[in-house]
Chain A
Amino acid sequence: MPTDIQAPYIAYLPLMPILLVFGAALIGVLVEAFVPAPLRRLTQVVVAVVGLAVAFGFVVYLATEGTSELVAESSIAIDGVTLFLQGTLCLLGIGSILLLAERRLDQSGGEVVSQAANLPGSRADLQLAESKQVQTEVYPLAMFALGGMLLFPACNNLLLMFVALEVLSLPLYLMAGLARRRRLLSQEAALKYFLLGAFASAFFLYGVALLYGYAGSVDLGDIRNATATTGESDSFLYLGIALLAVGLLFKIGAVPFQAWTPDVYQGSPTPVTALMAACTKVAAFGALLRVFYVGFGTTQWDWRPMIWAVAILSMVVGAVLAVTQTDVKRMLAYSSVAHTGFILVALGGLSGTGAASKDGLSGSLFYLLAYGFTTLATFAVVGLVRDSSGEATHLAQWAGLGKRSPLVAGIFAFLLLALAGIPLTSGFVAKFAVFKAAFEGDAVALVVVGVVASAITAFFYARVIVLMFFQEPSVDGPTVAVPSAYTAVTIGVGVLVTAVLGVMPQPVLDLATEAAQFIR
């Protein structure tokens, strides 16, 4: 019997977290079609949250088993780093879904509109803002995006990585345009994100092609081996690294590819912004780390100057531009650019296979976890401050919030201090971990720029605290909406993680250190 084509062997168990999330997304599509409208929203939330929770359970199981293998014909690597990031993503994903499910804040019941394609400003569009029609496709969209995010950092094959990139990006482009208020801004955000994202994807794909030309394979392990053999022309490699980096740096929002962040963060519905800020960053950083550690791990002297430049630019530009912002969401967008720079500092300190590189990896993992939870809670709080026209994101409107609502203002102040990296918060431990790794990797200059940029970031965080606590509320200022349990739980968990990781970070640091091992 002729057996010319052999079906690829797939080990399903290590892939279960990814498959479960995609499965939940598909069930979500079916729910859209078959479940009656009044029950749809609740069903969607349950499906999504249960899907992510079970996926998280599998991640924990795989991690306790010490899983570290290449699966699906070695195109997917399920190792410590993958599992750490997937676990983080599942938890952050549950938080984002809960934020999307919040319906008590906006009087029309929900942050997303049902017919996003209407012409902004048209009568149909104006009616949309007040309509009670609830849009539930957003849950399967979010789940597809999250599934792509779980896959993205696990890809050991550049083509698959491209597929994952698209799977996570396309739903996000759509979701960016769903904001109920300020429709024009939201549609602009979606279009900008899509156009620039498409460009970035094209760069990524071009880079993959060049690397294939260099190594004869799109497998990260093969590329690594090819860099070890001398005699080949290196120009394909350098161009390939550069183009690939453009695609990845775009996704993490590093300078000079940060131009989309403020507009998209501001225009998207706040729960979607939270999802992008927390989860996309974790996933994209995971992929970036894998590409540079595994694929280009032996050629770090070639790309180190590039990462240095990007890290320094991200820290400085992010910090300085954030100072000039007058909108909370835009300010947080630039602050996220600065934080991207801080995490890149650890990658800039990567040198060979010494202890420093492992410290850098575990530091980055810890930073992503800490930053993800803090950011999720921060955007959740931003969504609470509202006036009659929706969210009050202009900074001037936040004046005197501490007098109106000491609890919410206090929580927000704490989260800002964590983002500023004040000791006894997770932000400090995270920053310390990456700076230490960079110092060990002889990237002292990066550390010095990092501390100076931290001082600048502290300025604009402190400015918001000044506004909230030391100034008088204006008469027609915004009010703080009382959230339902969905948002309250997300904020509570985010604050708790921020505080606990600031005081007792050792268990999570151990976890990150244990996980900081790529399989090749």
Chain B
Amino acid sequence: MTTVTIDTIGIATSRSRSEAMRRAARRRKHLTSVGLALVSVVLVFWTLLPLYNIVMVSFEGHGDVFSDSIWPPVPSFDGYIAVFTQGYWYLANFWHQFGNSVYVGAAVTFLTLLIASAASFAISRMRIRHGWLLSNAALLTYVIPQSFLAIPFYRIMQNYGLTNNLWSVIAAMVTFATPYAMFIFQQYGRSIPIELDESARIDGATPFQIYYKIYLPLMAPALVAIGTYALLLAWNEYLYQFLMLSDKRSMTVPVALASFLNSDEAPWNYMMATAIVYAALPVTVYYLVRGRMTAGLTMGGVKG
């Protein structure tokens, strides 16, 4: 491109030629913007189609679900009313189950932050001997596909007597969230000067004081990011919750949602309304925290 420009300057006397060049450049620009617009339209369509389907079905009346319409003929709030009033036998425990999901999410977030920050503090700030062993153990856990451990995990939870107990799910989710948290905490912790710890130590601070009063406050951005990650991991996870929680009262929302599929009449509009209520929290959290999370910090989101 540049060489062409230089040529143009060389024969700048020929006006008509430079005029033609400019027209060609303009045409190319037009073509590019048409191409970009095309890509954008395809992307929006591709991205939104399954989501549009959720919204559309959730606003359909019972009779309209089994029709060939591509938008709700008569928008109906039946689905949402059923969810909010628990007005359908599949939804009889919905808000209790929603509470279970909140409980699991909160516990997983808190425990992951606590356990991972303490271990990372010992490894990278107190520099314990063989700390690298712990780091490698965490990294190795991170690359085990979760679903591969599900069967033995289910069996040992039976051994621990924790089936139909939310704590079995909490244990599983903390196990899978902690490694990534440690990975990020150790990376982020490198930006905090170790001299801070050392001067506090000389002033007589105990390790716990250093952890609580220096390390944690300075790690706040990483704590927010990892807290979000752990919350979403626990909220979105399905397999372990499905295996561990079979009782209606101990179920979480995803398990309840999937159990709809087994019903013969398949109330799709109720299901999709439930799906929207369920998805509202992670989507809101995601867009709220997005600005604070670099792409890297959300890496662990892959493990679904």
Q: Is A bound to B?
A: no
